[in-house]
Amino acid sequence: MRVDLLLTNVRPYNSYCKQFLEADIAIVNGRFLYIGSTDIAQLQPAEVVDGQGAYVIPGLIDIHMHIESSMAAPLPFARELIKNGVTTIVAEPHEIANVFGIEGIRAMLAAGKDAPIDILFGVPSSVPSTNPELETSGATIELADLAELLQEDRVVCLGEVMNYVDVVYKPEAKINRLIEYTQKTKPHLPIEGHCPRLLGLELARFIYGGVDSDHTQQTLAGMKERLLNGMFVEIQEKSLQRDIIGFLTEQQMDEHFAFVTDDVMADSLITQGHLNHIVKQALRLGMKPEQAIYAATFTPARRMGLKDRGSIAPGKQADFVLLDNLADFSIVSTYKNGKAVFHRDSPVTDPAQAGLFPAHFYHSVKLSPLDIDSFRLLVDSALPVACRVMTVSTGTTFTQAATAEVAVNNGELDWENSPYCLVGIFERHGKNGNIGWGLAGGDVITAGAIATTYAHDHHNLLVIGRNKHDMLLAANSVIATQGGYCAVQDGTVLAQVDLPVAGILSEAPMAELGRQVQVLKAAMRQLGYRHNNPIMSLSTLSLPVSPALKITDKGLINVNEQKLVSLFL
Amino acid sequence: MRVDLLLTNVRPYNSYCKQFLEADIAIVNGRFLYIGSTDIAQLQPAEVVDGQGAYVIPGLIDIHMHIESSMAAPLPFARELIKNGVTTIVAEPHEIANVFGIEGIRAMLAAGKDAPIDILFGVPSSVPSTNPELETSGATIELADLAELLQEDRVVCLGEVMNYVDVVYKPEAKINRLIEYTQKTKPHLPIEGHCPRLLGLELARFIYGGVDSDHTQQTLAGMKERLLNGMFVEIQEKSLQRDIIGFLTEQQMDEHFAFVTDDVMADSLITQGHLNHIVKQALRLGMKPEQAIYAATFTPARRMGLKDRGSIAPGKQADFVLLDNLADFSIVSTYKNGKAVFHRDSPVTDPAQAGLFPAHFYHSVKLSPLDIDSFRLLVDSALPVACRVMTVSTGTTFTQAATAEVAVNNGELDWENSPYCLVGIFERHGKNGNIGWGLAGGDVITAGAIATTYAHDHHNLLVIGRNKHDMLLAANSVIATQGGYCAVQDGTVLAQVDLPVAGILSEAPMAELGRQVQVLKAAMRQLGYRHNNPIMSLSTLSLPVSPALKITDKGLINVNEQKLVSLFL
């Protein structure tokens, strides 16, 4: 019979015996037909490719990730992924959903439609991250939105459920209605979870509530408890520890975990790679390639009910990667649906393609330019006042809540002469014009200012600074470009990343965006930002589900108690 | 917190580490909540049960089986299963579909609704088994029927695809439209297969065609090839061989197979049991209990996308079985949705409950009483004629095609004085009144006659005999009772099993039906039927997908060539 492609002289990975075999691979209509040697004479291939002894593995599948973490639009993002052997992702677009709701998700679906990889989606279940009392988002995701999105072919799961308190203790909460609706209408659909540190009966109740995976950083004890209670565990780089790898291997937990990236920033993406980077890290920690490949191909496909991929077997999508070296995991080429989409000897074309989103997505920062008075905090006192301070520490995105006396000068809080930065969150969705104020200390900037609309999850305008003039310049630069990140020192813009799509995404080619982010990080360091991941640190200062004291347009949030607290004690 | 049931002093099976642990089990609203010991003090149980050290395993799940093989209606069948620890089945009702089409399937769904186990369904994909040129069935299953049935909550797969020739070589065949429709509208749905002996490129093409399991009897070589090509293998009793068990264990194939019963007759069911019998057989062949239990609970649930069951873990349906002995697999009690439904010290109530099907299902044998002339075969010859003969051999349901000279007496084929039985198939669905004639030899009856409407898959009236008078009595007895099985010798009815529902099912209590079938088998042996499984042998004499020479109402069928052949050469 006629086949489109016959790949000879290769060592395909067999996902069922978890071994590399020696066999030819025949492909018809974008799907594997035959993997073997005995019946090759019966095939008439239109094309024969000599694999030169390469290992062939299924295309990598990342089932828990957020495209927006890279600040890139789906198309340039996908073009970068094929270089890294990733052929399928399940993206959870809760960032853009916080700006544009279901319209944002639909725009991501549309923008990713012609990508060289399959971009599948989870429906964000926690938009906003808390509730309208604690933060103003541009939009929310409600039951009706979920019902509509579950009809989409490319929607394959309910996105990560973040608020375990609502799941366990508040049966009437919206999240429980979303879970119940999903279970009722699509009982086979995975429901992704987020439950760091939950253990014992509370963990059991969270799982009982319908959530059957966790992708957060885990200790060995937390990992074990999740696995033995039937959770599917998604291992991101932070969980890649030697004791965990040892446990997974010795206890033969192969079926119950997958590697995921969760968040990869633009600069890491262009320098380190993507899911292949996690695989490489696992190999460095002593995992066998056969096991690591399984966790990046077979189990993620099965977890998401993707019967049509994840192995090199008859009928599966011919998504595969040629490697010339297992130990280094060095990629020679990537094929999608039986067609070569990347070879390491030819650059991938990644032209700037702006305008793939609806026109109003480029006008999402509904703020007029600020003036210097915007940053004056008037206080009805002449004496120093006790203030709450968000204390930032490197190595974590959690802050600690501290208290400090700050002087008052002419009825104005004299934060510029304190050791603290002022942080302002300006509601920018055109909803209410709220401004939330706070102070931040610790491993943040010691000079200048930074402004960004890339502020999780509501993506209002966050401005942090050590002086009003730099804050004003940074803020107005971001407002003028309709979103992005801007770092300023002494009246000079050190770095600016334009994120004109919904104020959070760039349509620049990935390499260019990656370089911009590198420049931004360098600028943040120059401003004294000591945190190991300054962008993630700053952008989560506004995330009111991340402990302990955070800030939104409503003001300071005591995260553990989920309530607003005042700046002044 | 309040829980409904706390099971203490037990050893629950953990499906994730495949080990028995020591832990208490808490159940709320029919689902497992907590399996552990540390947080028990936080629970207020309404009821505490001391398990007296019992092993607790998930309820057994049989994902490939046909209720009609037992000749029992769903309700009595299900009542028998709970004694055997089976709490979920995926039934494929192609037998009743051959009589009443989608209406038959809906009637099975309705009749099984209040059963003490979950009866889920596969949509029969091959009704009729061949096509209307080769057999007359009462109804067919078409694309529109499939589309309708896929909307049903309890439909979880496309039922077994039998005709590999159509899948591989006839893209335009109906079966390919059914597969494509299923893949398009419910891409996660399993597609069950039936492909004995298929290997190499043909097997690959069958899988490429969309079929991803096989449950037929396999050699080790066939089993290996299926597994390594990504098929899920369903192991029925016939495939339980020592070399196969060895391979599955040594190659760690745990994830890719499940035990299934396929066909269990009423007498076996009441004496040997059901899926628990297969598990016991596997244990006898040296499989570890932890592995055998996995293959009867976890993998079958996963294969069918049943996220809500198959393990003892938070959120799963509390379907479980207490065993006091692993080696014997001796069942103490069975729980469904957290409620005890069986305890070995109390008999299960199984009252006769007739009339659960639509009224016309009890009037499905549309034949008037026959007369003695019905069995005269007139021949336009005075000399002996060369006839095709179906030769039956014990140990297989396949026949061989033989040729024999049979004398002619007064213009009538003198089969009564030949070594062969006459076989007649009388179309009984009120469609066309066809009668197909053939001769059978080998390990069939040597005296008397048997008639049955339980004749796979079309279920027309099959009459086999050594003399006309006994054939007439047997046939008319079955017609008079609107279906069943009747064995006659010398003008006396030796055994009769009434199957008044669609001519193929009984609503009698299972124990009673089991005894009737035992009596029937004894009668068939008394008539000289030497085949090891006389009912299956006789009832598949009319199955035109089972090699080599079979018979339908259209006449003799050369199965391998899928064409009608004449009785006379």
Quick: pLDDT tens for B34-88. 999 999 999 999 999 999 999 999 999 999 999 999 999 999 999 999 999 999 9
Nearest by Cα to B256 from B248, B264, B244? B248
Contact A313 B207 (CB under 8 A): yes
What is the distance in angstroms between the Cα of A33 and the nearest Cα belonging to chain B? 6
Contact B449, B463 (CB under 8 A): yes
B16 contact residues in A (CB cutoff 8 A) = 227-230, 253, 256
- Which pLDDT band, with edges at 50, 70 and 90, does A6 fall under? very high
Residue B177: partners with Cβ closer than 8 Å, 6 or more residues away: B143
| Reported ipTM | 0.95
Q: Kindly determine whether residue B311 and residue A230, on different chains, have CB atoms separated by under 8 Å.
A: yes
Amino acid, single-letter form, for residue B376: R
Q: What is the pLDDT of residue B392?
A: 98
User: Residue B250 in contact with residue B267, Cβ under 8 Å?
Assistant: no
Distance, CA of A528 to chain centre: 26
pTM, to two decimals: 0.96
Cβ B314–A35 below 8 Å, yes or no? no
- Out of B33, B201, B228, name the one closest to residue A14 (CB): B228
pLDDT digits (tens, 9 = 90+) for B91-113: 999 999 999 999 999 999 999 98
> Do the chains contact at A188 and B187, CB–CB below 8 Å?
no
pLDDT band at A163 (very low <50, low <70, confident <90, very high): confident
pLDDT above 90: residue B348: no
DSSP states of A258-322: EE--B---HHHHHHT-SHHHHHHHHHHTT--HHHHHHHHHHHHHHHTT-TT-SSSSTTSB--EEE
Does A377 reach chain B within 8 Å, measured CB to CB? no
pLDDT band at residue A296 under the 50/70/90 scheme: very high
The strand pairing partners of B262, in sequence order, are B65
Q: Give the closest-approach CA distance of B203 to chain A in angstroms.
A: 9
**Which residues lie below 8 Å from residue A284, measured CB to CB, with a gap of 6+?**
none
Q: Is the pLDDT of residue A342 over 90?
A: yes
Looking at the complex, report in whole angstroms how far the Cα of residue A148 sits from the nearest Cα belonging to chain B: 16
Q: Chain A residue closest to B31 (CA)?
A: A208
> Do A188 and B256 count as a contact with CB atoms less than 8 A apart?
no
A422 membership: H or E segment, kind and range = strand A421-426
More confident site: A217 or B452: B452
Read off the pLDDT of residues A57-95 as tens digits, 9 standing for 90 and up.
999 999 999 999 999 999 999 999 999 999 999 999 999
Counting one residue from chain A and one from chain B, the pairs whose CB atoms sit within 8 A come to 125
Say whether residue A309 is in contact with chain B using an 8 A CB cutoff: no
Q: Spell out which residues of chain A touch residue B33, defining contact as CB-CB under 8 Å.
A: 204-205, 208
Taking the Cβ of residue B187 and every Cβ of chain A, the question of whether any pair is shorter than 8 Å is answered with: yes
Residue B204 amino acid letter: A
**pLDDT at A323 > cutoff 90:** yes
Query: pLDDT confidence of B234, banded at 50, 70, 90?
Result: very high
pLDDT at A53: 97
Considering only CB atoms, A17 lies closest to which of B34, B251, B314, namely B251
Is the previous residue joined to B128 through a cis bond, with omega within 30 degrees of 0? yes
Q: Is B339's pLDDT higher than 90? A: yes
Interface membership of A233 toward B (CB under 8 Å): no
pLDDT at B351 over 90: no
Q: What's chain A's average pLDDT?
A: 97
Q: What phi-psi label fits residue A528: left (phi over 0), alpha (psi between -120 and 50 degrees) or beta?
A: left
Say whether B200 and A38 touch across the interface (CB within 8 A). yes
Chain A residues whose beta carbon lies within 8 Å of the beta carbon of residue B186:
none
User: Mutate which of B4, B18, B31, B201 to test chain A, going by most A C-beta atoms within 10 A?
Assistant: B201
**Could you give the strand order of the β-sheet that contains B213-214, starting from the edge strand earlier in sequence?**
B213-214, B232-235, B257-259
Q: What is the mean pLDDT of chain B?
A: 97
DSSP string, B184-245: HH-TT--EEE--TT--HHHHHHHHHTT--EE-S---HHHHHHHHHTTPEEEE-GGG--HHHH
Q: Considering only the beta carbons, identify the residue of B200, B209, B315 that sits closest to A39.
A: B200
Which neighbouring-strand residues pair with B65? B91, B262
The tokens describing A122, both together, are 């989870």
Q: Answer yes or no: do A209 and B315 touch at CB < 8 A.
A: yes
Contact A207 B308 (CB under 8 A): no
Chain A, residues 462-491, CB within 8 A of chain B, namely: none
Task: Please give, rounded to a whole number of angstroms, the shortest distance from the CA of A421 to a CA of chain B.
Answer: 44
CB within 8 Å of chain B, chain A residues 23-42:
28, 31-36, 38-39, 42
Q: What is the mean pLDDT of residues A430-443?
A: 98
Report, as an integer, the average pLDDT of A171-179.
Answer: 96
Residue A7 in tokens: 């790949």
CB contact at 8 A, B482 and B450: no
Residue B568 is encoded by which pair of tokens? 């006379």
Q: Do B227 and A201 touch (CB under 8 A)?
A: no
Neighbours of A528 (CB within 10 A): 16
Range name among A559-563, B12-16, B105-109 with the lowest pLDDT average: A559-563
Distance CA B558, CA B548 (A): 6
Across the interface, do B212 and A36 touch by the CB < 8 Å criterion?
no
CA atoms within 13 A on the CB side of B475: 29
Max CA pair span of chain B: 92
Confidence of residue A352 (pLDDT cuts 50, 70, 90): confident
For residue B80, the distance in angstroms to the closest alpha carbon of chain A comes to 28
The whole-number pLDDT of residue B356 equals 95
Q: Are B384 and B404 in contact (CB under 8 A)?
A: no
- Long-range (24+ apart) CB contacts under 8 A made by A484-488 are A484/A452, A484/A453, A484/A454, A485/A450, A485/A451, A485/A452, A485/A454, A485/A520, A485/A535, A486/A450, A486/A451, A486/A452, A487/A448, A487/A449, A487/A450, A487/A520, A487/A523, A487/A524, A487/A526, A487/A527, A488/A448, A488/A449, A488/A450, A488/A451
Q: Is B62 in the A-facing interface, judged by CB distances under 8 Å?
A: no
Amino acid at B30: G
B481 touches B472 (CB < 8 A): no
Residue B505 is given by DSSP the state B
Looking at residue B163, what is its pLDDT? 86
Beta-carbon separation of A39 and B308 below 8 A:
no
Query: In chain B, which residues have their Cβ closer than 8 Å to the Cβ of A203?
Result: 314
Residues 6+ apart with CB under 8 A from A62: A86, A88, A89, A90, A259, A260, A261, A274, A275, A296, A300
Per-residue pLDDT tens digits for B449-499: 999 999 999 999 999 999 999 999 999 999 999 999 999 999 999 999 999
**Bridge partners, B568 (sequence order):** B387
Show Cβ contacts of residue B561 under 8 Å, excluding neighbours closer than 6 positions. none
